[in-house]
Amino acid sequence: MKRLNFGRGWRRLAFCAGVAAVTLMAAAILLDRLYPLPLDLVAARSTIVLDAGGQPLRAFQTGDGRWRFTARPVDVDPRYLAMLTAYEDRRFADHWGVDPIAVLRATGQALLSGRIVSGASTLTMQTARLIEPRPRTFGSKLIEMARALQLEWYLSKDDILGLYLTLAPYGGNLEGVRAASLFYFGKEPDHLTDAEAALLVALPQSPERRRPDRHEDVARQMRDEVLTRVAAAGVITEAAAREAMEEEVPVARLPAPFFAPHLAERLHMADPGASVIASTIERDLQQKLEDLAARSVAQFEATANIAILVVANDGRRVVASVGSAGYFDRRRAGPIDMTMAVRSPGSALKPFIYGMGFEELVCHPETIVVDRPTHFGGYAPKNFDRLYRGEVKLAEALQLSLNIPAVAVLDLVGPRRFAARLAGVGVRLRLPDPGAEPSLPIALGGVGVTLRDLVTLYAALADGGRALPLRDRIHDEAGVPATLLSASAAWQVSSILRDTPPPPHLLPGEATSDGRQIAYKTGTSYGFRDAWAIGYDKDYTVGVWVGRPDGSFSPGRMGRDAAAPLVFAAFSMLPPPGPDALRRPPPPPGTLVASQSELPPGLKRLRPRRGGDVSAIAAGRDTLRLAAPLDGSTIEVPRLPDGTLSTVLLRASGGTMPLTFLVNGRPIATTAFRRQAEWQPDGIGRTSVTVLDASGRAASADVWLASPGS
C-alpha cells in the first residue's frame, strides 16, 4: 500500500503561499512607487493672522478662492473628535485604513435589502477621497481602499485626522473644521458646544444640501441625528443631547475677521506660505483705535486720513497698528498703509538733534540761545509762526518747537553725523535727492521718514536711549540694542518733553487722568501736508499721523491740534500704568543737572559754529584733552587718618580757557588760568570725569577708584 506524502504537499503549499506573498508585496511596493500619495495636491492652505492672544485678525484665501486652514487634532475640542469618530468611524484607532467589519456589515445589508443601507468608508478612506476626488463608483472605492492603506503606512493617525480636519467640505468655499467654525460660529473650534460640534460632524456628508445658511431645517435635522447617535454611543448624555437640540443653528455665514488689515497683509506677503502667523497685536486695543480713527477722521476733509501706531516699550512689541481710518475708503486711499509711508516729519526730529547736542556737551537744556533771524551759510530758516523770542533756554526752545535754535544745534552737531547716528539704529533718512548729502533743513523736516521710524526713535527715548527694531510677530527675535543717545541725554530730552503743556481742545474724556508721565512732541510739515504727534511714557509709545495720502496741501492742519489729541486719546485706552510709570525717573549717574547760572562758561550760551563741523574743530591744534586721569585707568586713593579719601589730580591739555571740571556730571572746579584741579572723592567705584572749555568742547574719561589693597 502506497503512503501519501502530506509533508511534501504542505511544503509546496507553503512555498506557493510565500511566492504569492512576496509577489503581492513586490506588486504593492511597485504600485506605491508608481502611484505615490498625491499630498502635494492639497498643499495650498489659507493663511490666518492671529493676535497675541490667539484671536483671528485677518485671513487670506488660497489661490483658488477657498477658505482652508490647517487643523490638527490638538486644535479641536475633544468632544467634537469623540463625536466624529463615534458617528463616522468607531474603530478608527484600530484598523489599517479599511475596516473589515464595516465592509462585511455593509455588504450583508446591501445583499439582504437590495440597496445600500450603510457605508463602509472609514475616516482614512474619506481622507483619501478628499485628497484625490473621484466619481462614486465601485472602482473608485477600491482605489480609495488602496490609498487608505497607503495613508496608514506613511502617516500617523493624528496626521490622517489632521488632513480630514483640514480638507472636509462644509459648503461653498469652506473647507476644514476651522473655516466652518470661524464662519458659522465666529470662533476657533477648540471650545465648542455639543450642538456646534454635532453640526460640524454632520455637514461634510452632504455639505451643500445641509448648509445651515441655506437649508436651516435640513441642517438642524442632521445635527439632531448626530446628537441622537452619539448619545446612544455614550459620548454625551441623553439630557445633554436634548439640551443641545434646543440650540439654534446659525442661519448666516459671518464675515471674515478684519482687524489690523494693513499689518496682517504685510505679514502675509512676507511669508505667503505660512498657515498661521502669530502677531503681537492686541485685538481689543486694535479695535478701539480703529474706531477712534474712524470717528476722528470725520472732522477732516474727505481725502484726509489717519494712522496710529502703538508699541509696548518692553520688547518693542507693536500692540496696535492702524494703517488708515478705513481700509475700503477709496477716497482716503484706505488700502495704503500710512504707518509705512515716507513723509516729511516736520519738527519731529528736533528732540534727537538736541539730544546729540546734550550728549556731546555742546549745549545743555539750560543753555541760552538767541532766537532771531539767522543765516547759516546760504540757509536762512524762519520760525513756523514768523515770530522770534530773543533769548530763550534750549529747553523752552524745544517745547515751543522754535526753528532757529534747532538749526543752530544741528549746525554744531553736524547734519551728516546726525543722519549717521540715526542710520546706526536702523532709521534711514530719505533725502529728496538720493545723491545729496544731509544738510541743515533736516532739522525742519527736509527729509523723509515713516511713522514706524519715528516710533522707533521715541521708544528709544523711553528706554534710556537704547534703540531696538519694532516687532510685529510673537516669535521674532528681540534684536540687538543700539545706542541712539546716552542715558543722560535721553533723560534730559524726556524731561523737557514731559513738561510740554498738553494740547488744547482735547476730545471729551480723552485727557489722561491716571497720572501718566507722558512726554510728547508734535510736527507739521511744509504746506501743512503732514501733522504728527508722538508720545511716550515708561510703558508705551504712541505715534499718530494725520494728512492726505497723496501729499497735497492741507491748509491749517498742525500736529498740535490734529494729531496730539489722538495721542492722548490712545493713551486713555491703554492698560492702567504701574507705579513706576507714575513717577518721574531720576537723572542717570553723570547727568549734568544745573541751573543756567550754575553752568560752566562753555555751556551758558550757545556759541554758533564758525565754519567746519565740530569734528573738524576737534582735530585742530587746540584740541581739548583730559591728560589725567586716563580713560579706563584704575586709581588707588589712600584714606586719610580721619577716614576721608585723599585728593585726586585732574589735569587737561589744550582747549580754550576757562576750563570746568565735572565728576559724575556735577561741576567741581572752574579754572581761569590753570589747566588742572584737585578733587576729593566721597567714595570708591566707577567714576566719570569730564572737562569743558569755553568753546563748549568736552573730553571725558571713565575710571575706577579703588582703596589700596582692595
pLDDT band at residue 8 under the 50/70/90 scheme = low
Judged against a pLDDT cut of 60, whether residue 442 lies above it is answered with yes
Share of the chain above pLDDT 70, in %: 86
Judged against a pLDDT cut of 70, whether residue 196 lies above it is answered with yes
| Strand segments (E) across 37-180 | 47-50, 56-60, 67-68, 174-175
**Per-residue pLDDT averaged across 630-653, rounded?**
83
| Per-residue b or e along 308-337, where b marks 16 or more CB atoms closer than 10 Å to that residue's CB | bbbbbbeebbbbbbbbbbbbebeebebbbb
Which three three-digit cell numbers place residue 518?
A: 507722558
Q: Indicate the range of 15-24, 197-206, 565-574 predicted with least confidence.
A: 15-24
Judged against a pLDDT cut of 80, whether residue 610 lies above it is answered with no
Please give the C-alpha separations between residue 491 and each of 354, 463, 591, 602, 702, in angstroms, as whole numbers.
12, 9, 9, 21, 20
Q: Are 410 and 442 in contact (CB under 8 A)?
A: yes
pLDDT (tens digit, 9 = 90+) per residue, 522-568?
Answer: 999 988 899 999 999 999 999 999 999 998 888 778 899 999 999 99
**Per-residue pLDDT averaged across 402-416, rounded?**
95
**Per-residue pLDDT averaged across 499-508, rounded?**
71
Count the neighbouring beta carbons within 10 Å of the beta carbon of residue 85: 19
Count the neighbouring beta carbons within 10 Å of the beta carbon of residue 549: 18
Q: Are 282 and 53 in contact (CB under 8 A)?
A: yes
pLDDT at 10: 61
List, by residue number, the catalytic residues.
88, 347
Judged against a pLDDT cut of 80, whether residue 258 lies above it is answered with yes
| Per-residue b or e along 666-679, where b marks 16 or more CB atoms closer than 10 Å to that residue's CB | ebebbbeeebbbeb
Mapped onto helix, strand or coil, the DSSP state of residue 250 is coil
Instruction: Report the alpha-carbon distance of residue 226 to residue 176 in Å, rounded.
Output: 18
Instruction: Report the alpha-carbon distance of residue 70 to residue 428 in Å, rounded.
Output: 39
The reply to whether 225 and 106 lie within a common domain is yes
**Per-residue pLDDT averaged across 415-437, rounded?**
92
Judged against a pLDDT cut of 90, whether residue 313 lies above it is answered with yes
CATH of the domain at 683: 2.60.40.10
Residue 255 lies in a domain: no
Judged against a pLDDT cut of 60, whether residue 642 lies above it is answered with yes
Last residue within a domain, chosen from 585, 614, 643: 614
Q: What is the dihedral of CA 625, 630, 636, 638, to 10 degrees?
A: 0
pTM of the model: 0.80
Mapped onto helix, strand or coil, the DSSP state of residue 18 is helix
Task: Please tell me the total count of domains within the chain.
Answer: 4
The C-alpha angle with vertex 195 and arms to 192 and 198, in degrees rounded to 5, equals: 90
| Per-residue b or e along 521-539, where b marks 16 or more CB atoms closer than 10 Å to that residue's CB | bbbbbeebbbbbbbbbbbb
The reply to whether 404 and 335 lie within a common domain is yes
Judged against a pLDDT cut of 90, whether residue 454 lies above it is answered with yes
**Per-residue pLDDT averaged across 220-240, rounded?**
96
pLDDT (tens digit, 9 = 90+) per residue, 102-154?
Answer: 556 655 555 555 544 455 688 888 888 888 766 666 666 677 777 778 888 88
Judged against a pLDDT cut of 60, whether residue 274 lies above it is answered with yes
Instruction: Report the alpha-carbon distance of residue 83 to residue 154 in Å, rounded.
Output: 26
More confidently predicted of 676 and 407: 407
627: burial class by Cβ within 10 Å (0-12, 13-18, 19+)? middle
**Per-residue pLDDT averaged across 412-423, rounded?**
95
Residue 392 lies in a domain: yes
Please give the C-alpha separations between residue 57 and each of 60, 261, 268, 320, 504, in angstroms, as whole numbers.
10, 8, 12, 11, 35
Q: Are 706 and 681 in contact (CB under 8 A)?
A: no
Domain assignment of residue 34, given as a range: 10-40
Residue 671 lies in a domain: yes
Residue 80 lies in a domain: yes
Judged against a pLDDT cut of 90, whether residue 335 lies above it is answered with yes
More confidently predicted of 401 and 707: 401
Among 284-288, 547-551, 607-611, the range with the most confident prediction by mean pLDDT is 284-288
Judged against a pLDDT cut of 60, whether residue 677 lies above it is answered with yes
Q: What is the DSSP letter of 220?
A: H
Judged against a pLDDT cut of 90, whether residue 217 lies above it is answered with yes
What is the residue whose three cell numbers read 528681540? 478
Instruction: Report the alpha-carbon distance of residue 212 to residue 186 in Å, rounded.
Output: 15
Judged against a pLDDT cut of 50, whether residue 194 lies above it is answered with yes
Average predicted confidence (pLDDT) for the chain:
86
Which three three-digit cell numbers place residue 6?
A: 502530506
Last residue within a domain, chosen from 614, 644, 662: 614
**Per-residue pLDDT averaged across 510-514, rounded?**
54
Instruction: Report the alpha-carbon distance of residue 162 to residue 204 in Å, rounded.
Output: 15
78: Cβ contacts below 8 Å, ≥ 6 apart: none
The reply to whether 30 and 86 lie within a common domain is no
The reply to whether 234 and 286 lie within a common domain is no
Q: What is the DSSP letter of 391?
A: E
The reply to whether 540 and 680 lie within a common domain is no
The reply to whether 573 and 702 lie within a common domain is no
Q: CA nearest 707: which of 635, 649, 642?
A: 635
Last residue within a domain, chosen from 230, 245, 260: 245
Residue 639 lies in a domain: yes
Judged against a pLDDT cut of 80, whether residue 157 lies above it is answered with yes
Instruction: Report the alpha-carbon distance of residue 689 to residue 667 in Å, rounded.
Output: 10
The reply to whether 341 and 390 lie within a common domain is yes
**H or E stretch including 659?**
strand 659-663
CATH of the domain at 361: 3.40.710.10
Instruction: Report the alpha-carbon distance of residue 402 to residue 353 in Å, rounded.
Output: 13
pLDDT at 641: 82
CATH of the domain at 148: 1.10.3810.10
Q: CA nearest 702: which of 690, 692, 684, 694?
A: 690
The reply to whether 238 and 335 lie within a common domain is no
Please give the C-alpha separations between residue 371 and each of 186, 281, 375, in angstroms, as whole numbers.
60, 44, 12
Residue 263 lies in a domain: no
Q: Is the peptide bond before 658 cis (omega within 30 degrees of 0)?
A: yes
pLDDT at 107: 54
Q: Indicate the range of 28-37, 147-156, 248-257, 323-332 predicted with least confidence.
A: 28-37
Judged against a pLDDT cut of 50, whether residue 615 lies above it is answered with no
The reply to whether 114 and 205 lie within a common domain is yes
The reply to whether 181 and 241 lie within a common domain is yes
The reply to whether 485 and 464 lie within a common domain is yes
SS (H, E, C) 161-210: HHHHHHHCECCCCEECHHHHHHHHHCCCCCCCCHHHHHHHHHHHHCCCCC
Residue 133 lies in a domain: yes
pLDDT at 710: 57
Judged against a pLDDT cut of 70, whether residue 432 lies above it is answered with yes
First-to-last C-alpha distance (Å) of the chain: 115
DSSP string, 322-346: E--S-TT-GGGTTTS-TTS--B--T
The reply to whether 189 and 293 lie within a common domain is no
